[in-house]
Amino acid sequence: MVLVFKTNVNTISKVKKVSPKLNRLFPKTKWNFDLEDCDNILRFETENNIIKEIIILMKITGFECEAL
């Protein structure tokens, strides 16, 4: 399944801040940010419904995150 989120991660330095946490907590997923999109999209490819976990992690890290 593909999960899509609107975020306020709009620079490479912000991606670098959250990347280690995403990789550590969700090691079996593929994810990427689309910084050229007006909503700074975060996409996850996963077999599990981890929407709540992603939103919580992003907020703990200091970012806004909303499922689309």
Q: How confident is the prediction along the chain (68 residues), in pLDDT tens digits per residue?
A: 999 999 999 999 999 999 999 999 999 999 999 999 999 999 999 999 999 999 999 999 999 999 99
pLDDT for position 34: 98
pLDDT for position 10: 97
- Asked if residues 3 and 43 have their Cβ atoms less than 8 Å apart, the reply is yes
Where do we find the tokens 């995403």?
Answer: 22
Query: Residue 27 is encoded by which pair of tokens?
Result: 């090691």
CB-based burial label for 17 (10 Å; 0-12, 13-18, 19+): middle
3-state secondary structure of 58: helix
pTM here is 0.93
7: left (phi over 0), alpha (psi -120 to 50) or beta: beta
pLDDT for position 23: 96
